[in-house]
Every structure is written in structure tokens, then in C-alpha cells.
Homo-oligomer: A and B are copies of this chain.
Amino acid sequence: MKNENSNTKQKIQQTALDLFSKRGYSAVSIRDIGKIVGVKESTIYYHFKNKQDIFQTLLFEVQEITSQMTLLFNNQFEKTISVEETAFIKVGLGVLEGFLLDKHIIKFIRMLMIEQHVNEEAALLYQNILFDTPLKQNEKVFQLMMDKGYFKQDDAMRLAVEYYGFIYFIFQRYFSSKEVTAQAKEIAKNELSVLIKRFYKMYSK
């Protein structure tokens, strides 16, 4: 294929993400990636400067995803906030299912989970995508809920930690290394529902 707009580069990136998230950066060789994509190593070096360059490109993609999420959230959150318990639970389950367990995003998360111990930049991104950003977003939500009188006055950030803490814990417990099956999802969602329900009963007016 002598196509300048070939999607080989994209395929390499995708495959690298897939393998890095399963085995970790250092256990994946350029040949491994090439074999799956169906090209020789030298082709990979045509598209990327070196192995680290592939990784850096993926880290850049994480940053973009995080920014997009924040933007989307900021533009939409006032509209979607609801007072009702069922809707409130749905939002929490949505974070788990629509974000953390998204087929693409979970690969980034797992890659960062492994590489945070080796790579400073990965550590910062992990902190950002899994703690700082969601906590800040939840803080905003709870502050708004209080301002609108739906929730009792309290420390919004504390509520955020408590609420998002549940989601993170369930996510780690059921999916830190296990496959995301429909069955596991059901168990996790049920468990999370119980926790969110209690939370809602406690803090809503």
C-alpha cells in the first residue's frame, strides 16, 4: 500500500495501547506491535521516532480525552442535574459505565495504572484523570445541588470524595484486572446503586 493517508499509523497506535494496557510498556516489543498490525518493525519506525514516541503519543491522547471530558461536563452539567433519586443514581452508574468502563478509555486507564510507577508523566495523568478531574466535577455538582436547595448545606468537596470514592472503589474491585463482562457489570452496578442510594438519603433534603 503506497497510500499516504494510510491508517497504518492509527493501527500502530491502537495496537500499542492495547498491548501496553495488558502487558505494560517494557514487556511489549516493536515486533509484537508490528506482527499484529501486519507490518515490519522498520515501518513502525517510519511512523514513529522510536518506541517511547508511541507511548508519548498515547499520553497526549489521554490529555485530550481528559480535556474533552471537562469541556463536555462544563457545558452540560447544569441542564442534566436532577433532584430525583433514580436520576441521581443513574448519573453515578453512568460515570462507571460510560466513562471508566468505556472500551477505549479503560485501556488508557490500565496503561496509566501500570506505567505511573515508572513514568512521571503517566503518574500525573493518572492522578488527573482518576482523581483530580472527577472530584472537581463532582464538587461542582454538589455545590449546585446545595445552592438550589436540593441538598443540605455541607462541604461540597467532602461529599465529592465520599461519592466518587465509592465509584472508584467499585471500579477497582471489579475491574482492576478482570475482564469487563456483562455479568461483572451487573454486580458492580448493583453494589454501587446501594451505596449511592444511602448517600442520597443522607444528604438530600
Which residues from chain A sit less than 8 Å from chain B, CB to CB?
A: 21-27, 110, 113-114, 116-118, 123, 126-127, 131, 158, 161-162, 165-166, 168-170, 172-173, 176-178, 191, 194-195, 198, 202
Pair B24/A118 contact, Cβ less than 8 Å? yes
A162 to B27, CA, bound (A): 36
Query: Which of A165, A194, A195 is the most central at the interface, judged by chain B CB atoms within 10 Å of its CB?
Result: A165
**Main SS class of interface, A:** helix
Least CB separation from A27: chain B residue: B26
The reply to whether A194 and B110 form a contact with Cβ atoms under 8 Å apart is: no
- Can you name the residue of chain B whose Cβ is closest to the Cβ of A158? B194
- Starting from the known contacts A22-B118, A25-B27, A165-B195, 17 additional A-B residue pairs (CB-CB under 8 Å) come to A21-B117, A22-B117, A23-B118, A27-B118, A113-B117, A114-B117, A116-B176, A123-B177, A123-B178, A158-B195, A161-B169, A161-B191, A162-B195, A165-B166, A165-B169, A165-B170, A202-B202
| Cα separation A116 to B21 with both chains bound (whole Å) | 11
CB of B22 within 8 A of CB of A24, answer no
Number of copies: 2
Find chain B residues with CB under 8 A from A126 CB.
176-177
Please list 17 pairs of residues, one from A and one from B, whose beta carbons are closer than 8 Å in the complex, sorted by A's number.
A21-B117, A22-B118, A23-B117, A23-B118, A24-B27, A110-B117, A113-B117, A116-B176, A123-B177, A123-B178, A131-B173, A158-B194, A161-B169, A162-B195, A165-B165, A165-B170, A168-B169
**Complex partner residue of A26 from B23, B162, B168, CB under 8 angstroms:** B23
Partner of A172, one of B110, B161, B168: B168
Nearest residue in B to A170 (C-beta to C-beta)?
A: B165
Counting chain B CB atoms within 10 Å of each CB, which of A27, A117, A172 scores highest?
Answer: A117
